[in-house]
Amino acid sequence: MTDRHPDREVLERFLGGDLPEDASRALQRHLFVCPACEERLIELLPGPATASAPESRDQHRSLVRTLLEGHRPEISGRHRDLAAERAAAAALWREIEPHDELRRRSLVAQDSRFQSWGFFELLVELGRQAMLENARQAEALLRLALAVAKRLDARKHGTGSIEAARAKVWTWLGNTFRVLEDFGRAEAAFRQAERYFSRSWLDPLDEALLLELRAVLRRAQRRFDEALELVAGAIAIYGEVNEPNHQGRALMIKGMTLQYKGSFAEAADCFRASLSLLEEPRLLALSELNLVNCLQDAGHSMEAAARIPGMRRRVEQAGKRVDLLRLRWTEAKVAASTGQPAAAEEAFLEVRAAFLQDSLAFDAALISLDLAALYLEQERVAETKRLAAEILPVFRSREVYREALAALLVFQRAAEVEQLTRGLVDEVAAYLRQARNDPRLRFREQGTGS
């Protein structure tokens, strides 16, 4: 619908609810990016003229929703109310934050001050930010946002907008459960989001986000073809509504899916394309980091090494601690493959110690295998044996799947009898990468990853 503008008949059929669902949703997307068609739609509505055009994309979406919910005379007042709610949201959170989850929900149910769109938006954003650092906290915040959404005034906001709000919360809850590796609850949450979307006013960004996050779940489940199909839909929508940063983020997800699948050249193309679209500094840093890892995995170590200084600058400026650790890990792998064994060993040991401190068992195991491969190449038998002997006691003290422990035991025993080979190291590493998301996968029954 973005390549041509709807005529008057199409707009009238849309207002009358006579368009087929696909055509109606395509037109809704068009209205979000075409102020001229929005103005033509306004002219077809009954009632007095409204205030000036919105100043931001969020206000624009609110305006279009309001028009089509049938509240045209209230647009200016709703913009003022929303600005006031957003301004008050931080103070409301400071008031409610010290209480436990049960008390917070009670306050939301009893006190109308907490039943605002601005407070809802803040809770969703806080939940989104907490997701990678503390997924349980993110779940609590998002469930509180859901409690607020259930109490938003339909007369003020319109039922379609409220259904969209609930869909957004369930979308982020689905991603939270994916982070917690509870794939069953993630699937159920995404289905719930779809149900609310089917009854909502369509925001194309929300629709694309659901596709994007479901693609991440499919990638974690190693259902790569499904993941690629879902993320392609998200990329198309972001392009259609002219959201380059979101399109770049979705391209990163596509690239990571291809990387997990073993299609390194295609993945590198996705990461390169994303760098020209992304605006957020941390996403730029992560995409650069992913690109360098892809080049390294594809055997292009010199090209990877050439990109490391620029990657380091981006990650140091915008990355978090985990990004800096993965940067150092990447530097170690590149150093190992470009004839710098001392630098590689130093970096491997540094990152391994940090992963052990953070109880990141699978990552610590994988970097231990990288270090073992380095020792094997240098024929450092004693160090290889010592490294292998250290692994099992460490991982028995953590919650690691039985089959993962079995794979590490095979590695340890081979090292003890001096029969460890690079092939076995690579086999165990490939298994661990798959098993972290599939505890039922048995060692030496895993697929090729493609």
Residue 277 · residue 287 · CB < 8 Å: no
Model confidence at 104, pLDDT cuts 50, 70, 90, reads: very high
Quote the CA–CA distance of 249 and 246 in Å, as a whole number.
Answer: 5
Check whether 56 has a pLDDT greater than 60: no
Please name the residue that has the structure tokens 């953070």: 358
The per-residue pLDDT for 364 is 87
The per-residue pLDDT for 130 is 93
Which of 53-57, 163-167, 264-268 bottoms out in mean pLDDT, i.e. has the lowest?
53-57
Check whether 438 has a pLDDT greater than 80: no
Check whether 255 has a pLDDT greater than 80: yes
Which of 58-72, 141-155, 348-362, 422-436 bottoms out in mean pLDDT, i.e. has the lowest?
58-72
> What integer best gives the mean pLDDT of the chain?
85
Quote the CA–CA distance of 42 and 6 in Å, as a whole number.
Answer: 14
Domain boundaries, the chain: 1-44, 359-450
Name which of 213, 259, 252 is nearest 449 in CA terms: 259
The count of other CB atoms within 10 Å of the CB of residue 274 is 27
Check whether 257 has a pLDDT greater than 80: yes
pLDDT tens, residue by residue, 302-321: 999 999 999 999 999 998 88
Check whether 53 has a pLDDT greater than 50: no
Classify residue 230 as exposed, middle or buried by CB count within 10 Å of its CB (0-12, 13-18, 19+): buried
Find all residues with CB under 8 Å of 70, minimum gap 6, and list them. Answer: 158
The per-residue pLDDT for 157 is 77
pLDDT tens, residue by residue, 329-364: 999 999 999 999 999 999 999 999 998 888 787 888
Model confidence at 446, pLDDT cuts 50, 70, 90, reads: low
Quote the CA–CA distance of 27 and 409 in Å, as a whole number.
Answer: 59
Model confidence at 66, pLDDT cuts 50, 70, 90, reads: low
The per-residue pLDDT for 74 is 47
Q: Which two tokens stand for residue 121?
A: 């938006």
Check whether 392 has a pLDDT greater than 80: no
Which of 3-12, 40-49, 131-140, 335-344 bottoms out in mean pLDDT, i.e. has the lowest?
40-49
> What is the pTM for the complete model shown?
0.78
The per-residue pLDDT for 398 is 58
**Which stretches of 111-243 are DSSP H helices?**
117-130, 135-149, 154-157, 159-179, 183-198, 204-220, 224-240
Quote the CA–CA distance of 404 and 443 in Å, as a whole number.
Answer: 7
Model confidence at 50, pLDDT cuts 50, 70, 90, reads: very low
Name which of 163, 128, 124 is nearest 145 in CA terms: 124
What is the torsional sign of CA 258, 264, 270, 276?
positive
Most trustworthy range by pLDDT among 111-125, 200-214, 426-440: 111-125
Q: Which amino acid is at 447?
A: G
Quote the CA–CA distance of 200 and 170 in Å, as a whole number.
Answer: 13
201 backbone φψ class: left, alpha, beta (φ>0; ψ -120 to 50): beta
Quote the CA–CA distance of 14 and 23 in Å, as a whole number.
Answer: 9
Q: Span 84-106, mean pLDDT?
A: 95
Check whether 12 has a pLDDT greater than 80: no
Backbone angles phi, psi at 118, to 5 degrees: -65, -40
Check whether 71 has a pLDDT greater than 50: no
Model confidence at 229, pLDDT cuts 50, 70, 90, reads: very high
Model confidence at 28, pLDDT cuts 50, 70, 90, reads: confident
